[in-house]
Copies of this chain bind each other. A is one copy, B any other.
Amino acid sequence: MLFKEITILNKDLEIEKDMYVAVEADRITYIGKTRPDGDFGREYDGRNRLLMPAFYNAHAHSPMALMRGYGENLALQDWLNTRIFPFEDKLDSNAVYWGTMLCMAESLRFGIVSSSDMYYFVPDMVRAVAESGAKANISRAIANPMGAPFESLPSLQEAKDAAAQFNGYADGRIIIDTSLHAEYTSNEETARGVAALAKETGTIMHVHLSETRLEHEECKMRHGGMTPAQYFESCGLFDGPALAAHCVWCEDEDLEILKKHGVVAASNPVSNLKLASGICPAAKMLQMGITVAIGTDSVSSNNNLNFMEEIKTFAALAKVKEMDPTLITPKEALYAATAAGAKAQGRTDCGVLAAGNKADLILVRTDVPNMHPVHSMINNLVYAAVPGDIVMTMADGKVLYENGEYTSIDLEKTIFEAQAATDHILHQL
């Protein structure tokens, strides 16, 4: 495929006009001012279009899509105890498959090609993601609220099986991560065991960190004053590559720990607002040189995967948190949504528009009123674009979504099956 005379967001996250971009097989093979020699198949007229890296969602729980809008306006514990946990208790392979597929359809519509997706029923998640053509770093969340012997945990065996069976699956589109669910849902043996598992399997550690004030403060009471970040560090969770979701209540010392170990922080701005968890200190993290990526969290707390909304909210919330409108540049916000997310997923050849990288791309239309006038296209992209402006999403060189149509997903069937699986669960409650 050849994009002709198109505006691009280049590898330095700067705008270049009238460019040619060639995609062959799964990679970008050419970016330049002149037309490359050769036949690239389909040619795309780049007028009124901007080509940029697709989005990498750094924190998701896709199958929870089935609980979208299920119980709004409840306090967190009410919501979990009366809605989420009873529903999850009835989940099965079929439900997880269709919930994940629904999220892949929504992700592609909103420009997300890859998600760091923590949940269970991993084989069903893998199947849906692989079939959709999208990518994911999938982890079997390990929790141990009752303090069972670590080696006896079924989730441990599932995590081991997932790593053995699916790491690198579907031409590398599927990567298996290791996940400790959180400090407050496990004990020290479990935390240390999960850290050892990540080392043993050479996988990325994905963990919830200081999402709520309660979680953060109770950890300190339970662990002799140690914050979740300090406790995790002491358990070895940050010895290898790690992704910490939320980080809302991280203290300055915690940020030093993230920085020291190169832990990527995944900010989930919309979910953190909606659950009234708080506002992540993203500006401070960036100033310290911590890599900050952006996540949607699950749509049961968000309630969609509108990544452009996440990007704008990420930047705007940082300003109001510090009462300083100069914080977080549009370029920093776009880096968080693309390259930082790819880095969180260990996808070194993704997230940047450069020849040789995987062709994970989105096309944004600019012939819409909200993208004019153009003082700065990058400002418009971060603050004025809407998801309806995304007209194409491509992963590994394959067009998966274009103008409302999917090439890999039967949307009507997915909506029907996701609703049927949801209804089936509700009837059991």
Could you tell me if B375 and A67 are in contact, using CB atoms closer than 8 angstroms? yes
Q: Is the CB of B326 within 8 A of A383?
A: no
Question: What does the 1/0 interface line of A222-242 toward B look like (CB < 8 Å)?
Answer: 000000000000000000000
Contact between B69 and A375 (Cβ–Cβ < 8 Å)? yes
Q: For residue A69, which residue of chain B has the nearest CB?
A: B379
Contact B279 A320 (CB under 8 A): yes
Contact B383 A330 (CB under 8 A): no
Cα-based distance from A373 to B415 in the complex (angstroms):
7
Q: Is A388 an interface residue (CB 8 A)?
A: yes
Bound Cα distance A25, B372 (Å): 33
Is there an interface contact between A72 and B383, defined as CB atoms closer than 8 Å? yes
B303 with A384: CB separation less than 8 A: yes
Are B384's CB and A326's CB within 8 A? no
Nearest-CB residue, chain B, relative to A271? B316
Cα–Cα, bound, A229→B328 (Å)? 33
Q: Is the CB of A386 within 8 A of B386?
A: yes
Residues in B whose Cβ lies below 8 Å from that of A102: 369, 372-373
Q: Contact string, A95-114, partner B, CB cutoff 8 A, digits 1/0?
A: 00000001101100110000
The verdict on A17 contacting chain B, using a C-beta distance below 8 Å, is: no
Determine the chain B residues whose CB is within 8 A of the CB of A384 once the complex forms. Answer: 68-69, 299, 303-304
The one of B278, B306, B322, B370 that contacts A386, using a Cβ cutoff of 8 Å:
B306
Is A357 in the interface zone, CB < 8 Å from B?
no
State whether A369 touches B273 (Cβ < 8 A).
Answer: no
Cβ < 8 Å to B, chain A residues 296-355 = 299, 302-306, 309, 312-313, 315-317, 319-320, 322-330
Q: Provide the bound-state CA to CA distance between A394 and B368, in Å.
A: 19
Q: Is the CB of B276 within 8 A of A324?
A: yes
Beyond the given A73-B330, A304-B384, could you list 14 further A-B residue pairs with CB under 8 A, ordered by the A residue number?
A: A67-B375, A68-B373, A68-B384, A71-B375, A72-B329, A102-B373, A110-B370, A213-B323, A276-B322, A279-B320, A304-B385, A309-B386, A373-B415, A374-B419
Residue positions of A touching B, CB distance < 8 A: 65-76, 79, 102-103, 105-106, 109-110, 213, 270, 272-279, 299, 302-306, 309, 312-313, 315-317, 319-320, 322-330, 367-370, 372-376, 379-380, 383-389, 411-412, 414-415, 418-419, 422-423
